[in-house]
Structure 1
Amino acid sequence: MATTTLKEYKKIIADIPEVNDFTNVYFYVNNYTIDQKYIQYLDELSNLKDEIISKWLNITTRTYRNYKTKDVLLKDNTKEQIVLLISLYKHGLDVFTTKEDFEHWLTTPNILLDNKAPMDFLDTVSGLKFIDNRLTAIEFGENV
């Protein structure tokens, strides 16, 4: 298993485009090598179970676990989803300050989201954008 350094993680988070910047997301996915280190970084960013993250990526839990331990070629849509999830986490940490507070919000059913948890929307690009927009609304003082 490849060991990813803190320096590599800092570069990933510094370079990753915002969720709503589709042009840069597209070019990022096509110009960077989205590989095992991105999966490992997403796994380290999240305190959530593999079953949840694999659902977001539209893959089986077993496949997700293989991606964490083996260097495999990822499909373009999986790469894009990984980049968007890391970007969403970056935004969420900026808004909530701690991973625990962000993940509490992310996993708690919300009456303003039809009693769904924000994490229930993260398995599609449009759902990711919707939740990212909710984070922006929170930044500007809306109850979300």
Structure 2
Amino acid sequence: MTKQGTLAQHDLLREVPSHINDGEILQFLFTKDVNWQHVNAIKDLTEFNDQVISDWLNVSVKTFREYKKPQNAFKENVKEQVLLLLSMIKHGLMVFGSVKAFDGWLNQKNFYFDNRSPGSYLTTVTGIKFVDDRLSALEFGDNA
């Protein structure tokens, strides 16, 4: 990624809420455009491949790759899910301090997730919010 691309992504990420809060998410959705840059940020901020991220968004890999192109507009539900994922990722990186540690936690089976991996919950809005809640629990000392 170019230095200009990195700066643009940094600015984009700075605007994204660092915790999932319904009011902040709705305000963002009504006042800003969630677009291909946000989808690319999800890809750039994690070590997950297109298959995994497309599963999170409940779309085919081909459709996910189309989402990463500037000319595409998203439906409202896709915008919301992309924003929630990005917010949760931002929160996770804050809590864990590195992409590697956060991605490892998302992939590891966990008691608090019914012995499933937290990443397996990211295919629904409720699941994303649940993972974000567990990140808050970790942040403030609860075992997660």
TM-score (structure 2 length as normaliser):
0.91
More moved, 37-46 vs 67-76: 67-76
Q: Contact (CA 8 Å) 2:20, 2:88: kept in 1 or not?
A: no
Hey, what's the Cα distance between the residues in 1 that align with 2:52 and 2:134? 20
More moved, 81-90 vs 7-16: 7-16
Q: Contact (CA 8 Å) 2:19, 2:88: kept in 1 or not?
A: yes
More moved, 125-134 vs 5-14: 5-14
**Does 2:55 match 1:60?**
no
Amino acid at match of 1:120: S
Query: Counterpart of 1:44?
Result: 44
Amino acid at match of 1:91: H
More moved, 67-76 vs 93-102: 67-76
Q: Contact (CA 8 Å) 1:29, 1:79: kept in 2 or not?
A: yes
Deviation per residue, 1:76-130 (Å, 9 max, x gap): 1111111111111111011100100000000111122111100111111111111
Q: Percent identity?
A: 33
Q: Contact (CA 8 Å) 1:17, 1:87: kept in 2 or not?
A: yes
Return the offset for 1:71.
Answer: 2.2
- 1:108-127 matches, within 5 Å, as 108-127=108-127
Query: Counterpart of 2:88?
Result: 88
Query: Counterpart of 1:136?
Result: 136
In structure 1, the gaps of 5 or more residues are: none
SS at match of 1:69: coil
Query: Counterpart of 1:31?
Result: 31
Return the offset for 1:18.
Answer: 3.9
Hey, what's the Cα distance between the residues in 2 that align with 1:20 and 1:33? 18
Size of the aligned set, in residue pairs, is 141
TM-score (structure 1 length as normaliser):
0.91
